Chain A
Amino acid sequence: MLDQLKETIKKALPELDFVMGWGMGFDALHATPLFMYEPEDVDKLVWGPLNIQNLATYLPSLKGKKVGIVVKGCDSRSVAELLQEKLVNRDEVVIFGMACQGTVNLTKVREIVGNTGLVEDVKYENGKLTVTADGQPHEMLLKDVRADKCGYCRFPNAVISDHFVGEERAPQVEEDTFEDLKEFESQSFEERRDFWMKEMDRCLRCYACRNACPLCVCRDHCVAQSRDPHWVSQQDGIRDKFMFQIIHATHMAGRCTNCGECERACPVDIPVLLLKRSFNRAVKNTFAYDAGLDAGATPPLLAFKVNEDNIKEKEW
C-alpha cells in the first residue's frame, strides 16, 4: 500500500514544488516530517502509527507555492478548515490520503517501556507494536498506546483528497460522546481549578502548542506576545499561562478539528486539548456543527440566526 502511495506521489511530483509526508527521525520510534523534492526523497516515505505530526500546520506559510501533502483523516480536516477559511488555495495543494489505523501517543509508550530514549527497534504488525529498548522487547497493542483522539475517531479516511490510496477503513465510533470531558466534570469545581493550576504551573511558555496547531494562523503576530493590547504579561505565573490557554482555545472555537497537535507538541505533557474539546462540544451541541468537514460551510461563530435553534432567548 505504501508502495502505491509512493508511486502516486512520484507521478505527481513533477508538477509540484514538493510533497510533505513522514520519514524516519532520529530513532525507530520517532517519525519526522519529510519534505520530498526529488523522486529519491519519496523512497524515504513511511506510513504507520508513528506518523504523528499534522503536516497541515505548514500549509498557510506555503501560500504561493504548489505543494503536495500526505494526510491522515484528522489532518485532512485541518486542510478542509484551512480551505474553508481561505488560508490555503485549493489549486495550490494536492492532497494524498490513506486510511489511518490510529497514531501512537509516545507518552503512553514511555509508560510501558520506561525510557523511550533507549529505543533500538520498533515493529508494527496487525495492531501490535513491539518496541525494543535497552535490549528488552516490549509488546503492546496499538489500541492501548494510541492517542486519545484515535479512540473516538470518526474520520480515519481523508474527508478531502485528490488521491486516495488503498481501502477505506471503518470509523472507531459513530458519534463522539465526549466521555473524557464527562469524566473530568465528575470532579468538583474546586478540583478542576486545582487540576489546571497544577498543570499550568509547569508550562514553559514555549508556545509549541500554538505553533504546532494548524489553525493557529496568527503565529508571528499572536496576541500572547503583544504589549498593546496587553492580554498576558511576561510573568511566569499560573494566571498568565492559563489565560494564554484560554485565549488559544477561544480562538479555536468552531474551528478546532481535534487533531490534538497542541497537546502532543507540549514538551511537558499538559493536557491542553481538553479545553479545546470543551469548545468543540459546546459548538456541536449548540450549532450541530463539526469543524473541517465541509470546505464550503460558514463557521458558526461567523454567522447567526435571528431565531437560534438551541439558544434560549429570555432565560435571563
Chain B
Amino acid sequence: MPVLEGRELRIVGFLCNWCSYGGADTAGVARFEQPTDLRVIRVPCSGRIDPLFVAKAFMNGADGVLVSGCHPRDCHYAEGNFYARRRLEVFKNVISVLGIEPERFEYTWVSASEGQRWQEVVTKFTKQVHALGPMVSVPEVSLDRLAALEPAQS
C-alpha cells in the first residue's frame, strides 16, 4: 500500500507546454516543495483544452482539476488562452449544477519563469481540494447493478 494512501487525492492538472509546464519544471529544478496530489497532463496550449477534458476527468474519478496556461497577452500562440479563458470561465460557472463544488476546479496563468508562483498555486489548490475531501464517484454501472454489487463487496 502506498504510504500516501488515504492522504493523497486525485488532482489532474492540464498545463500548456510553453508557460505553465515550464513553470512547473522551474519549480522542480529549484527544488520547491510541493504537494504530490497533482498529476500533470501537458497540452500544446490552454486553447487546446476542451472543457470536456475537465468534465471527463471528474467523471473518471478526479477530486480536483487545475488548468494553467500562459498569462493573458503572453500566449505562445498569441490568442489561445483568450479563447480558453472564455470557455473555462463559462464551464466554471456551470459545474455546480452538475453537483461538483466549484472549488474543485480552477484555471490560472503561470509563466515558465514563475517557479515560485507555481508552487503557491499547487499548494493553495491542493489545500482547497483537501478541504472538500474526495469526491463521490459517478457509478460506472446502473444503480440497480450497483446495489447488487454492494453486498458482495462489503
Contact = CB atoms under 8 A, between A and B. Distances in A.
Interface in B109-151: 109, 121, 136, 138-145
B121 A316 contact: yes
Interface in B67-93: 72-73, 79, 82-83, 85-87, 89-91, 93
Nearest to A188: B99
Interface residues on A, range: 35 or more
B96 interface: yes
A246 B136 CA distance: 18
Contacts of B73: 306
A239 interface: yes
B90 A190 contact: no
A300 interface: yes
A197 B139 contact: yes
Contacts of B72: 306, 313
Contacts of A190: 99, 136
A201 B147 CA distance: 13
B55 A246 contact: yes
A192 B121 contact: no
Interface in A206-260: 231, 235-240, 242-243, 246-247, 249-250, 253-254
Contact of B85 (A243, A281, A308): A308
B86 A193 contact: no
A254 B93 CA distance: 13
Main SS of chain B's interface residues?
helix
B55 A243 contact: yes
Nearest to B68: A316
Interface residues of B, number: 39
A231 B85 contact: no
Contacts of B4: none
Nearest to B138: A239
Given A238-B139, A278-B97, A304 B83 contact: yes
B86 A242 contact: no
Nearest to B101: A189
Nearest to B89: A311
A122 B41 CA distance: 59
B86 A301 contact: yes
A316 B97 contact: no
- Nearest 4 CB-CB pairings of A with B: A193-B99, A282-B93, A304-B82, A192-B99
Interface of A: 181, 184-185, 189-198, 201, 231, 235-240, 242-243, 246-247, 249-250, 253-254, 274-275, 278-279, 281-283, 285-287, 300-301, 303-306, 308, 311, 313-314, 316
Given A189-B96, A189-B99, A301-B83, 7 more contacts: A184-B97, A237-B145, A250-B55, A253-B87, A282-B94, A286-B86, A304-B86
Interface of B: 51-52, 55-56, 59-60, 72-73, 79, 82-83, 85-87, 89-91, 93-94, 96-101, 106-109, 121, 136, 138-145
